[in-house]
Every structure is written in C-alpha cells, then in structure tokens.
Structure 1
C-alpha cells in the first residue's frame, strides 16, 4: 500500500474543514451611521498559488529565460545565464550544464503557513532538467534558506539526471521532508509569512533544447492538529467512469522502483486518472516492460514518478509532474477542506487522488491498515458514501470500493492519529492530487476555483 521508506515524520500543519466561518469587521462609517457592517470572510487555511499566464511569467525576474505565448504560455531558456557542474548523487556522474532562472514575485500567504508543497508542470526533453526552490520569509522577519523542493526530469536515460528530492535541508526553524517544507515547532508561533519560487532550467552545453515550464506554484497551509474533523453533509450523488488498476498484481515487478507494485499506490492512482482524461503511454514508451505483465502502463508510471532519494514512487509533486507530461494536462498538489469539495469536483467531472492513513479497523471494508496510501475518489452514493478506485485490491476487478463517508472523511482530513502501537503519529490533513485538461470547460474552471485552484 505504501512505500517502505519512512517520510514526513512531522506533519504539524494540515488542512481543516474549510467551514467558511465569518467574522464581523470592525465598525466603520456604515456602523457609525446606524448601518450594519458587512461580514468579512475569514481567509481559508489553504492557499494554492500558481503562475501560469504570459502576463504572470513576465511579472517574474528572468535571468536567461523568456516567456512564450500561445495556447499554453510558459518559460524557456533564451540565452543561458551561465554553466555549472552537477554531480548526480545517484549515479556519481559529473556533468556540465547550461542554466537559466526565473524567480516569481513574492507571494504573501493569506494565512501564515506551517507547511508548503511546491508543484510544477513542464516538458523536459532528454538532456534537460529543472530545479525548484522555495525562498521564504518567516513571520519574525528572517529568511529561510533557498530550499530545494525537487530536481526533476521526465526521463531517466544516460543523458538525464535522476529525479530526486533533497532531505537534510534545515535551519533550526524549518526543514524539508521529501517534498514538504515544514515549520519545526508550530506551537512556538513561527510561521512562513511569504515566499518566492525560483526555477532553474538546465540543458547540456551547446544544445538548442530547453525545458518548457507551463505552471509553477505552491500550496501553503496552517491548521491546528486534530484527531477528528467535523462531518460534512452529503450534497451530491454520482459516479465517474474511471479505469480501474490494481497495484497488487505488480508485486515483484521491477523491485528497483520501490520494491515493486506493492508500494505503487501513488503511480497506479495517477495512471487511472491520466487514462480517464484519454491520455496514456505510447507503445514505444512501454517497450521496456516485460510483455507478459498486465497493465504495463502502471509500470511506466512507477518508473517515471520514482524519486531516487526518497527511494519511492510517492513523491507528491513528482506524481503531478508526471501527469502533466501528457498532452495538454495540468496537475497540482493541494489540500481540500471536506468531502463537499470532492463533490464539487466530481460533479464537474474531475476525479481526485486522496492521501490517507488508518488502522484496519478505521475503514470498514478496506481489509488492511496503512501508514500512508493513495486512492482515487470517483463518486458518491445516494447516501453520501465515497466511491473509490482503491489500488490496494487483489485485481483490477476488485478496485472499485464503497467506503463509509464518515470514516473516510476523518481518516483523510485529520492531522493526528494513533497507530497500532498506540503512538500518536501524523495524518495528511486532506492532501490530494488534481489532474485536469489544460483547457477545461467553464464548469470545470468554476469547480477548480471553488476549491482554490486557479
């Protein structure tokens, strides 16, 4: 169900139910004149900011890159800013790379955050790659280090680096765990007040190839920890026809990618939604897979999402980035506030991949417990229960499950839980991946905006 590699030992802040509680504004002229002051909506505890338009790309600081227009605006290498040597820690190969950078305007978090996760959508031809950094400012006015949030390329050939996160980054106030920036001691009150994202595009010297970046963003959040969440009221019934794939049938296949299929919940879920949108790997993409293996596209997804530092396929931004390598696909990592948010998306035709952890007794019908697992939510029953494609199933035919609404919502949204030993450990707090066409319908745009995705 999960990677055997431990991750995110501290998830101090996560999303709560976005209840939309209103607060009353201070009395102003209207109140002084006897009129009622208008209620002011409290900021949501999750902020997902992204740069995607030509104007937004032009608003950043470019050093060797240029913004390009078209159906899908982005940035590319124009004239490299310089060159640098990089020794790949996973191959020990040292190579020289030309590079160019783009730095976003500073974004102030509407609610100062305890966690942040970056994401990007890009095309990286063989012999090119990119690095994403977060440059933050704390609420005490000091600056974070330039934290590397990922070094990524779509491929893994001889001319490519190995995709990697970078643990061990810390300054005594915050640290990086795989793909997540986290304040070390949230109870002390320190928060991330604002940040910039810097992306560096690399290519082999003399090459005319370039990465193309279409989306760069981050999700920042701050919600107190809790063991239970408020129950939502069912508001929609319906089901999307999403392909069903089991990770379990891949046990023992390609153990170099996180011990084979037993740990492939994230790429298996990603592949389901990629194919729901009509995309899939080509025959050439799958030529490396043993022809006797069923569902070879799941093997491809595992290989292309594998994080060589984390030694697993569960890196959240790497999964989103993989989905966006398919034609005209967009993808983000975010947190949602309740099952009503998922209902909004499903109603618009957008399935979601949710991350949760639970004991075997906490999710009726699952038949297993897990310290972390991804599955695809595809609909809701008339009673409001969750219809999920759960890759932790014996075979493809068994993937569709119906889970109790209250149980599912709590194990997904909580930030703290008890494990089988009675120890308090963390929950994901509503983490999910969202994949959708780069040119969504008006209804899909509205649904995405309703859950904070622009």
Structure 2
C-alpha cells in the first residue's frame, strides 16, 4: 500500500490520547445508525478558473488566456532566477512571470490547507505554487512553497517535480502537500490566505506554461475517532475501469519501489479512463511491452514526487489528471457519505484516502497507514462499492465494503495503530476529477460540495 503518511499535530494527538480510550475508537464502526442528510461542512474551497477570476489578481508579466478554457500564460517575463535542482544537482537560469491571488477569507478558520492546480507545462517550463496564510492574531505566514511542478521529466529540459521540506514559522508547517497548524487546539487558526503561482521557462524561449485552475481547500475537521453514521440514500454503480497496483510489483522500482506503493496513481488512472482519457501509444512507448496496463506505470512516473520519494502527493495526482484534454482535478474533503452519494448519483466517482487496521475493514485483507481507492457506487443496503487497487488482479479490484466501517475509517481524524499509538486519519480527503463540460446535474453536485 501507499507509504503516504498523514501528519497531525503532536499536541492534538497527545491531548486525544489522554482523554480518549480504546473503547471510543473501537466503538466507531458499531455505533447506532442515525440519519445525517447534510453534515456540517468544515471545509472551504476557493478556486480561480475563469477569465474574471484571473483578472482579479495581481499580474506580473502574466496574461489571461481567453479561450474555451481560461488560464494564465507568460506574456512578458519580469525577471530571471537561478534554480538549483536538488534532485539533479544542476543549476539553471529561468525567466519568469507571476500571478498573485486576491486575499481569500475562508468561511472556515482553518487548521489545514491543501493547494491544488491544473496546468500544462511544455518541455523546458514549470510552475511553482505558494501559499501565504493570515492567522487569527493578525500575523502572516511566510510564502510557503506548496509544490514545484512540471508535467514532464525530460532529463535535459525539465526540473524534477517536488514538494519542499523544512518549511515552518513556529505556528504552522508544510508536510509534503499539506499546510497544518503546529497546535490545532491552541494556535491561532488561518483565517485568510493568498496563492501565488510563478511560471518559468528557459530565457528567450517562446513556449509558456498555462495554468487553468489554482486554489486551495481550507478545513478544520473536528478531531474524532468516530463519525456519525449516515443512512443509505442511493443505489447506483458507475462503470469504472479496474486496475490492480499489485500486478506491477517490481516494475520501475525507481518510482517508490514499484507497484506495491502505487495506489494513488492506479486510482487516478482508473478515473481518468472513466472520463474517456488515456495516454497515447507514443506516450507509452517507454514502458516495457511485456508489462500489462502500461498506463498505470505511466501514471506512477508522472505523479512521482522526487522529495517525498513517492507517488502519493495528493495535488500532484490532481495535476496529473489535468494534463489530459479538458480534464480537471482537485483535492478536497467531503463531510459525509451522503455527499459522496450525491456525486455518484451525478456520475462523478471519487478517490478516497484512508488508513486502518486489518480488522477495521471487513474483506480488505490488509491494514495500511495510508491508502487510496476509488469509490464507484453503493449497494441497495448502502454499502460502499470500491475499486480497490490493493487487489491481486484486475478482476478482483471491485470490492464491497461495509458502509459503517468505510465511512469511519475515511472520515475520522484520529485512530489507533497496531501498537496502540494514536495517529492521524485523513478526515475525508478525496480527489475529484471531472471534465470541463459538465451536465447541469454534475455542476450542481460539485457546487454542493464547494467545487466550482
């Protein structure tokens, strides 16, 4: 399974460990069911996507792309900068332009923020996404680098896409792809933020990155070992391709030891193909022709984070999805299985992130500190139908998991690991991929969970 680790604050974990006992954690899956038509939302999403959006920010050498898919491009570089790539050992000079968003005041005073973006970066170009938060006490964080990203990995032309470690101001810290308060209980929360994207290219070049979507999810999910049970409200199953990460064990170990850790890109590829997109034969020519499902190898290579040393960087997976024609990807949190049902009803599957002990998810056959799988529907009894890539074969990927067990392992923020230590859960993190052209029902379903 994925080695993606969700990092919580030490103070919050210690406090919960002192006040919550094993009975509370164990009681989650067996709690009595009660209806939760619309759970209280503790998530705020803000994305800039339209021409009007891009014109509200501060442009330094960028221009708005007025096309079917609005975006930003380099119009006139405003400076040059040297970048020493820590993963290649080379230093190169790049010219750049920059766009800074207006300040967005979150509806949720946040303990965590996750940025995501959709872009195209031709060979020899890349982007850097930064976030600066304002705390409730009026102070501001530094500009945190949330990702240095290129869709390609040409050894001569491109940087290595990477998260950036060791970023903290004593109040908050960046953990791979997540900006989290150091003390979620006592520390001042992030009440507003700005995003900044810098577009880079080789000096004198005419090619440019294009950024179509930029935004962040701010959240303050209550710490909990268990979540309220929801009543089933949908019987539906979407037809989504099935791919197993396990069939790729040992393949391309330079990408996080091969298929055994490829749950995130395997799940991403399933949803990308659900929407009718896939790599071309030319794009797959690098893959050993003896390997089945070469597109999964492709997804692993092009979601790989060279700092994290894995394919489980959440925004990098969403960005990878957006490299396919007219496809968008975001990272967010959902508040309930009811919200997930509304997306499935509209034909939108989701990739969910969860961690659990073997005995906490009946039928899985494994435990994991972090794993991605694709939710594709619900049975008549309300149980979750998932394409679980941690299956021995493509044929075995479709699983049915008990509703109460699944919603608890996905939506909780705290759990006990195999040694009895209190560790973090994801609190409902998911990836949503969807095309630019949507039906009215699909737009409404996304809007209902804060995605526009």
Q: Contact 1:18/1:45 (CA < 8 Å) preserved in 2? A: no
Report the equivalent of 1:26: none
2:73 paired residue among 67, 76, 82: 76
Report the equivalent of 1:47: 44
Report the equivalent of 2:271: 273
Q: Show the 5 A alignment for 1:297-446.
A: 297-446=295-444
Hey, what's the Cα distance between the residues in 2 that align with 1:46 and 1:103?
A: 22
Provide, for residues 215-270 of structure 1, a one-character-per-residue CA deviation record: whole Å limited to 9, x for no partner. Answer: 00000001221000000111000100000000000000000000000000000000
Hey, what's the Cα distance between the residues in 2 that align with 1:230 and 1:413?
A: 10
2:111 paired residue among 114, 117, 125: 114
1:150 paired residue among 147, 152, 158: 147
| 2:21 aligned with 1:8 | no
Q: Secondary structure at the match of 1:453?
A: coil
Q: Secondary structure at the match of 1:155?
A: coil
Report the equivalent of 1:59: 56
Report the equivalent of 1:123: 120
Give the TM-score of the pair, scaled to structure 1: 0.93
State the shift of 1:189 in Å.
Answer: 4.2
Hey, what's the Cα distance between the residues in 2 that align with 1:19 and 1:384?
A: 14
Q: Contact 1:250/1:261 (CA < 8 Å) preserved in 2? A: yes
Give the TM-score of the pair, scaled to structure 2: 0.93
Q: Show the 5 A alignment for 1:193-232.
A: 193-232=191-230
Q: Contact 2:58/2:102 (CA < 8 Å) preserved in 1? A: yes
State the shift of 1:339 in Å.
Answer: 0.6
Q: Contact 2:244/2:394 (CA < 8 Å) preserved in 1? A: yes
Unaligned runs of 5+ in 2: 14-34
2:260 paired residue among 259, 262, 283: 262
Q: Contact 1:232/1:338 (CA < 8 Å) preserved in 2? A: yes
| 2:449 aligned with 1:451 | yes
Report the equivalent of 1:31: none
State the shift of 1:9 in Å.
Answer: 5.1
Q: Show the 5 A alignment for 1:281-292.
A: 281-292=279-290
State the shift of 1:68 in Å.
Answer: 1.4
Q: 1:425 to 1:199 in 2, by over 3 A?
A: same
State the shift of 1:111 in Å.
Answer: 1.6
State the shift of 1:8 in Å.
Answer: 2.4
Q: Contact 1:7/1:178 (CA < 8 Å) preserved in 2? A: no
Q: Contact 1:257/1:311 (CA < 8 Å) preserved in 2? A: yes
Hey, what's the Cα distance between the residues in 2 that align with 1:233 and 1:132?
A: 40
Hey, what's the Cα distance between the residues in 1 that align with 2:277 and 2:374?
A: 17
Q: 1:300 to 1:56 in 2, by over 3 A?
A: same
Provide, for residues 265-311 of structure 1, a one-character-per-residue CA deviation record: whole Å limited to 9, x for no partner. Answer: 00000000000000000111111100000000000000000000000
Hey, what's the Cα distance between the residues in 1 that align with 2:9 and 2:400?
A: 30
Provide, for residues 25-83 of structure 1, a one-character-per-residue CA deviation record: whole Å limited to 9, x for no partner. Answer: xxxxxxxxxxxxxxxxx7x3100100001011000000000111111110100000111
Q: Contact 2:113/2:178 (CA < 8 Å) preserved in 1? A: yes
Unaligned runs of 5+ in 1: 22-41
Q: Contact 1:178/1:315 (CA < 8 Å) preserved in 2? A: yes
Hey, what's the Cα distance between the residues in 1 that align with 2:100 and 2:38?
A: 33
Hey, what's the Cα distance between the residues in 2 that align with 1:181 and 1:7?
A: 11
- The alignment covers a number of residue pairs equal to 429
Q: Secondary structure at the match of 1:186?
A: coil
Q: Contact 1:120/1:332 (CA < 8 Å) preserved in 2? A: yes
**Superposition CA RMSD, Å:** 1.4
Q: Secondary structure at the match of 1:297?
A: helix
Q: Secondary structure at the match of 2:143?
A: strand
4+ runs deviating over 2 angstroms: 5-13, 17-21
State the shift of 1:363 in Å.
Answer: 0.2
Q: Contact 1:357/1:412 (CA < 8 Å) preserved in 2? A: yes
Q: Show the 5 A alignment for 1:77-96.
A: 77-96=74-93
Provide, for residues 390-429 of structure 1, a one-character-per-residue CA deviation record: whole Å limited to 9, x for no partner. Answer: 0000000000000000000000000000000000000000
Q: Secondary structure at the match of 1:337?
A: coil
Hey, what's the Cα distance between the residues in 1 that align with 2:115 and 2:195?
A: 8
Provide, for residues 348-384 of structure 1, a one-character-per-residue CA deviation record: whole Å limited to 9, x for no partner. Answer: 0000000000000000000000000000000000000
Report the equivalent of 1:34: none
State the shift of 1:136 in Å.
Answer: 1.1
Q: Secondary structure at the match of 1:255?
A: coil
Q: Show the 5 A alignment for 1:243-262.
A: 243-262=241-260
